[in-house]
Structure 1
Amino acid sequence: MEHRKRLQREQLVMDASRELILEGPVPPDRLASMTMHKSLDAFRRPTEQHVALVEIAGLDEGRIILARENSVIVGYVTFHYADELERWSEGGMTDLIELGAIEVADDYRGLGLGKRMIQLAFAEEQLENVIVFTTEYYWHWDLEGTKLNVWDYRKMMEKLMQAVGMIWFATDDPEICSHPANCLMVRIGTEVPLSSVEHFDRVRFRQRFMY
């Protein structure tokens, strides 16, 4: 299946002397020439996460959307196939893509970068031929940094995903069902065949009576 990748770019002027560039999908060689902001450490050390982003960018289906100030990455969103150990990889669907990590450096929060990066990822119908899903787990959320409780953070994440048409989908996945704040958000592209939608339904429900 063709994975459409057309580099998009957006400029965000912060003040007279500073500007941010939002762009993606960024190719691995270009990504490797940049550096990570020191506060992008939600998942691993910034240098280690940088290596991971370059690897994702090099995958056929992988795509990295980022925000940068000059050559310093201050935010990013990842898209890739689900981990082979997770149920979402069952059946080897080539048109099922996970929206994985979203992270914005502390000093750049409040600018709407997460929403802007996700919208850029869906620009020019690049993801209309795939099902995009994200699994939201409360233990991944920065509750301490945002001072939000799990329910307000959940609302914030739902609003963020709804900006590109992702909506809540039911599932019997044990990890998602382990806490009521966890959720599965999905967007089915307009070009996705019915057979893929039905396949995805079988993946998200192992107990058929829960349809």
Structure 2
Amino acid sequence: MNHKKNYKSLQILVKEEKFIVEGPIQKEELASHEFDEGLVAFRPPKKQKEALLKVAELPESRIIIARENNKIIGYAIYLFPDPLERWSEVQLDNLLELGAIEVSANYRGYKLAKHLLKVSMMDDTMEDYIIITTEYYWHWDLKGTGLTVWQYRDVMEKVMKSGGLEWYATDDPEICSHPANCLMARIGKRVGPEAVHEFNRVRFKHKYMF
């Protein structure tokens, strides 16, 4: 499959602050920006930038950023599922996982996560893909936000729905290990029935779940 990437950009004005949400961006452009010091969910900002530069080299990867001038304050990454997860067992080249979405702790309250997802789906190429995200409560910033597990789950689900992702049932043991965990997905308009069947097959490995 030709992983076509049609650049999209959205300028937003929130609380008199101007931000640019754009992508998919190329490695060279990503390298030219600095990372905000509040991007610490996965690793220190400098290390996270290095990690994203490596991701940008993957042919299927799509990186959407939110920035203030030359400073990246949020990002969303799409790439093939982790080889260690069951979703990689699907023999599809049009299944991508929302591998990470992060907004700097210094820029919360601007709905940047929703805008990152909206810009992601503005590219018509996304209608050729099945996009999934696996949400695990132990990855959530409960301490930093002060939310309970269920409050965070509600916020997270609303954010994902802004990008067209919906809740899907699965018998994946890791997701089923806690009721707050979930699988969400968006099936593009041009995804064929064979691909949908493969996705459903890997969602359920035990027939009694149907």
TM-score, structure 2 as length reference: 0.96
User: Letter of the aligned partner of 1:12 in structure 2?
Assistant: I
Do 2:90 and 2:199's aligned partners in 1 also have CA atoms closer than 8 Å?
A: no
For 2:27, the equivalent position in structure 1 comes to 28
SS at match of 2:87: helix
Q: Any residues of structure 2 matched to 1:38-77 within 5 Å, and which?
A: 38-77=37-76
The residue matched to 1:39 in structure 2 has which SS?
coil
Aligned residue identity for 1:108: Y
* Match of residue 92 from structure 2: 93
Displacement of 1:37 in angstroms is 0.8
Distance in 1 (CA, whole Å) between partners of 2:130 and 2:207 is 21
Q: Which amino acid aligns with 2:10?
A: E
Structure 2 counterpart of 1:199: 198
Q: Is the 8 A contact 2:79 2:96 kept in 1?
A: yes
- The alpha-carbon deviation at position 15 of structure 1 amounts to 6.5
Shift of 1:2: 2.2
Corresponding residue of 1:186 = 185
Does the 8 Å CA contact 1:57/1:64 hold for their aligned counterparts? yes
Structure 1 CA distance, aligned partners of 2:182 and 2:13? 34
Other structure's SS at 1:139 match: helix
Q: Is the CA contact 2:7–2:123 (under 8 Å) kept in the aligned structure 1?
A: no
Match of 1:190, as an amino acid?
A: K
SS of the aligned residue for 2:128 comes to coil
Q: Does the aligned pair in 1 maintain the 2:11–2:21 contact within 8 Å?
A: yes
Structure 1, gaps ≥5 residues long: none
**Contact 1:34–1:71 at 8 Å: present in 2 too?**
yes
| TM-score where L is the length of structure 1 | 0.95
Cα offset, 1:208, TM superposition: 1.7
TM superposition shift of 1:46? 1.1
Q: Deviations over 1:67-88 (max 9, x none)?
A: 1112111000110000111111
- Compute the displacement of 1:4 (Å): 2.5
Offset at 1:11? 1.4
Partner SS, residue 122 of structure 1:
helix
User: Do 1:4 and 1:127's aligned partners in 2 also have CA atoms closer than 8 Å?
Assistant: no
1:20 is paired with a residue of what secondary structure?
strand
Matched residue of 1:134: which SS?
A: strand
Identify the residue that residue 158 of structure 1 maps to in structure 2. Answer: 157
Q: Deviations over 1:4-31 (max 9, x none)?
A: 2111111123576x52211100101110
The residue that corresponds to 1:145 in the other structure is 144
Show the counterpart of 1:11: 11
Distance 2:9 2:117 in 1: 12
How many equivalent pairs are there?
A: 210
Per-residue deviation, 1:185: 0.2
- Structure 2 portions without partners, runs of 5+: none
